[in-house]
A and B are shown apart, each in its own frame.
Chain A
Amino acid sequence: MPSDERLVMSAVPESFATAFRLIVHADPALVRTVALSLAVSGSACLCAAGFGLASGAWLAVARFPGQRAVLLALDTLLALPSVVVGLAVYLLLSRSGPLGSWGILFTPAAMVIAQTILVLPIVTALARQVVADALREGGDQLRSMGAGALASALLMLLHERWAMATVMLIAFGRAIAEVGAVMIVGGNIDGVTRVMTTTIALETSKGDLPLALALGLVLLVVVALLNVAIALFQRGSGPLAVELR
Chain B
Amino acid sequence: MVARGLNQARRRAVLALACAASLAGAPLLAAAQERSITMASTTSTEQSGLFAHLLPAFRQATGIDVRVVAVGTGQALDMGRRGDADVLFVHDREAEEKLVAEGFGIKRTDVMYNDFVIVGPQGDPAGAKGRDVVAALAKIAEKSGTFISRGDKSGTHAAELRYWKMAGIDAPATKVAAYKECGCGMGPALNIAAQSDAYALSDRGTWLGFKNRGNLQILVEGDQRLFNQYGVIVVNPAKHPHVKVQLAQAFADWVLSPAGQQTIASYKVGGEQLFFPNAPR
Tell me if chains A and B make direct contact, with any CB pair below 8 A: yes
Binds B, one of A61-69, A77-85, A185-193, A221-229: A185-193
Q: How far, in angstroms, from A190 to B187 measured CA to CA in the complex?
A: 18
Q: Are A109 and B23 in contact, with the CB atoms below 8 A?
A: yes
Interface segment, one of A50-58, A133-141, A169-177: A50-58
Q: Is A4 an interface residue (CB 8 A)?
A: yes
Task: Assess whether B2 is interfacial by the CB under 8 Å rule.
Answer: no
Interface residues of A in 14-45 (CB under 8 A from B): 43
Render B14-29 as a binary contact track against A, CB cut-off 8 A, 1 for contact.
Answer: 0110110011001101
- Whether A107 is near chain B, meaning CB under 8 Å from some CB there, is yes
> In the complex, what residues of A have CB within 8 A of residue B206's CB?
206
B281 is an interface residue with CB less than 8 A from chain A: no
- Could you pull out 17 A-B pairs where Cβ atoms are within 8 angstroms? A4-B214, A46-B19, A49-B15, A50-B16, A94-B84, A95-B240, A96-B83, A102-B26, A103-B30, A106-B38, A154-B8, A154-B9, A155-B5, A189-B69, A204-B187, A206-B47, A206-B206
Residue B185 is within 8 A (CB to CB) of chain A in the complex:
yes
Closest to A49 in B: B15
Q: Is A53 within 8 A of B212, CB to CB? A: no
The listed residue (A51, A108, A209) touching B16 by CB distance below 8 A is A51
Nearest opposing residue in chain A for B36, CB measure: A192
CB distance from A226 to the nearest CB of B (A): 20
Question: Which residues does chain B contribute within 8 Å of A207, judged by CB atoms?
Answer: 187, 190-191, 194, 210-212
Contacts of A230 in B (CB 8 A): none
Shortest distance between the CB of B149 and any CB in chain A (Å): 16
Q: How far is the CA of A54 from the CA of B30 in the complex (A)?
A: 31
Contacts of A4 in B (CB 8 A): 195, 214
What are the residues of chain A within 8 A of B188 when measuring CB–CB? 204-205
A154 to chain B, nearest CB (A): 5
**Which A residue's beta carbon lies closest to that of B186?**
A205
Please measure, in the bound complex, the distance between the C-alpha atom of A153 and the C-alpha atom of B17, giving whole angstroms: 21
On whether the beta carbons of B15 and A50 are closer than 8 Å, the reply is yes
Contact A104 B26 (CB under 8 A): yes
Name B23's closest neighbour in chain A (CB-CB): A109
Residue from the list A51, A95, A192 in contact with B84, Cβ < 8 A: A95
Scan B241-276; emit 1 where CB is below 8 A from any A CB, else 0: 010000000000000000000000000000000000
Residue A3 is within 8 A (CB to CB) of chain B in the complex:
yes
Shortest distance from the beta carbon of B156 to any chain A beta carbon, whole Å? 14
Given the known interface contacts A50-B12, A207-B211, the answer about A95 and B19 at a Cβ–Cβ threshold of 8 Å is: no
A54 and B16 within 8 A (CB): yes
How many angstroms between the C-alpha atoms of A120 and B62 in the bound complex?
Answer: 43
